[in-house]
Amino acid sequence: MADILEKNVRLGKHAQHPALILVFNMSPIDQQDNPQDGLHNKLETASQQAAKKRLQAIALVGVLVVAGGGVLAGLSLVVGGRQDTPSPASIVEEVPTEAEIMALREAFKAAVKAFEHDLEADVLSPPFGVWNAEAQHDIKTAKARAIDLFSGGDYAEAVREMDSASTKASQEISAMNAAFEESMTAAQKAYEQDAFDQAKLHITKALSLRPSAANAQSLAQKIDTLPRVLSLVKAVQDARIQNDVEGEIKNLRALLALDPNREGLKARLDDLIIQTMEQRFAGHIKNGLACVEKRDLACAQTQGAAAQKIFPNRSEGALLATKMYALGQELKVERLLADADAAMNSDQWPQALGLLQNASAIDSAQKRIRDGLEVAQKITTLDAQMDRYLSAPDRLSADNVAAGAHRVVSESAALSSMSPALTNKAQKLKDVLAGYATKVSVLVRSDNLTEISVRGVGQVGRTKERAIELKPGTYTVEGIRPGYKATLKTLVVAVGAKDVSIEVVCDEQL
């Protein structure tokens, strides 16, 4: 291709000189091309028009060649506009081949397509016009001029003009990109130095060159927050001077939310947070221990929970928890004893016993609990025993049972001042015991033939009527007579009963 361009440069515009008809026929390129877009259609049309002009020139020159070289030379002066037109022989030597012409035309099309694909959008963009309006105009003009040259059949000049336009476009786009990067670098540096005005100036220039660049838009947003960031920086410094830790933390958090890349401030915030956590934790532990000393369990629990939330596994927290537990148990025992005292004062000894047992499960060594538990157990035990005797008073007729009842009544006497209910029950049992201890006269009637006995008591013997004395209770009276069937009768002797009698006779023969 360089050889073709060189040959065409030497020929100047004689690539379309009539003398070319000595070696050229009409090229079939125009029939073979298959245009792909509008511009290529225009180029094909221009190419066809140039081919027709060459045919006309070929016919004319053919005539002149026959007429003689002198006429050809004169015509060359007229057509080419030059006084030093080469001789016909030299023209024949410099004429491009058909393949070279075809290559030039295709090279131009390829150059236009590459320009439109890679460069034209950037050249025609508004930012490029802002960057260099003169260069934008020159490049557009050069492209138009190249198309005109192509339309005129001057392919070599058209290719050279298109190459010049592309070169200039590439250079200007590269310069524009370099200016963008330079502005971005300057804006970033100014931003990092907290120089808002400079940063704003540079980022504005960068955005004018690439309005849609994501990195420029992101940096612009950061720069826009810089005044607020600087205000917070000052607030942080003021809080530090005033030793306002909470204020400094608050402003640091707001600042880092706007600009999270300030590593030094992040470290400062972390240090302050740890410092305040330590202080708050120590305060909660101290206050919690003070609450324990005051025996204020609710207060201690609040402080302990707050400390646990800050540092769950600290030994100080475990110590406070141990003291709170001990205080809780102590207060629980006190509540149980108070309730037990109330129950004892109300003569509710079973309830008092349960409360004292719960208290003993927590603190069995406390003398007050041991003493109270001993009394409550005695009273409830005696009360239950009395209930058993009174629920089956007939058993009191037996001497051994009555003896046990008397012992219960005797033991309860020592506790009478502590339980009026037990005293009353003991008196009732005493009365029942007295009733069962008083014998009742019973009249036994028979036929004087039957042997009569009272089981568990003794013999009555044969009698028609005899009075015997029995303690209140239920007895079995038996009658026996030889040759007769024995008889058994039940005798119930009530306490304080009068006119009690029974008839026992064996009158049924065997």
Distance CA 364, CA 361 (A): 6
Please name every residue paired with 461 in a beta bridge, in sequence order, or none if there are none: 452
> What local confidence, expressed as pLDDT, does residue 85 receive?
43
Q: Are the C-beta atoms of 451 and 481 separated by less than 8 Å?
A: yes
Extract the tokens encoding 456: 């568990």
pLDDT above 80: residue 400: yes
Q: How does the average pLDDT of the chain come out, rounded? A: 83
The pLDDT assigned to 13 comes to 39
Least confident of 33-42, 69-78, 290-299, 334-343: 69-78
Contact 502, 445 (CB under 8 A): yes
pLDDT for residue 94: 63
Residue (of 180, 41, 9, 199) closest to 109 by Cα position: 41
Tell me how crowded residue 266 is: count the other CB atoms within 10 A of its CB.
13
Is the pLDDT confidence value at 290 over 50?
yes
| pLDDT on residue 385 | 94
pLDDT at 81: 36
Q: How far apart are CA 468 and CA 501, in angstroms?
A: 10
45 pLDDT above the threshold of 80: no
Tokens for 256, please give them: 């880092």
pLDDT tens digits along 78-133: 333 334 444 444 444 467 788 988 999 999 999 999 999 999 999 999 999 988 99
pLDDT over threshold 50, residue 50: no
Q: What is the percent of the chain with per-residue pLDDT over 70, rounded to a whole number? A: 82
CA dist list (Å): 417 to 127, 165, 422: 111, 126, 9
Split at pLDDT 50, 70, 90, the class of 73 is very low
439-503, what's its fold? Immunoglobulin-like (2.60.40)
pLDDT of residue 64 exceeding 80, the answer is no
SS3 for 14-81, per residue?
HHHCHHHHHCCCCCCHHHHCCCCCHHHHHHHHHHHHHHHHHHHHHHHHHHHHHHCHHHHHHHHHHHHC
CATH 2.60.40.1120 domain locations along the chain = 439-503
Average pLDDT, stretch 155-163? 93
- 10 Å Cβ neighbour count for 475? 18
The whole-number pLDDT of residue 396 equals 87
Report residue 395's pLDDT band, with 50, 70 and 90 as the boundaries.
confident
Strand partners, 459: 453
Whole-number pLDDT of residue 25? 31
Q: Which amino acid is at 132?
A: N
Residue 265 has a pLDDT of 87
Q: What is the pLDDT of residue 397?
A: 81
pLDDT above 90: residue 21: no
For the segment 243-255, the average pLDDT, to the nearest whole number, is: 90
pLDDT digits (tens, 9 = 90+) for 167-181: 999 999 999 999 999
* pLDDT > 70? residue 371: yes
Residue 34 pLDDT: 39
Rounded CA separation 158/160 (Å):
5
Report the range of poorest mean pLDDT among 5-19, 200-214, 400-414, 487-501. 5-19
Question: For the chain, percent helix, then strand, then coil, each to nearest 5?
Answer: 70, 10, 20
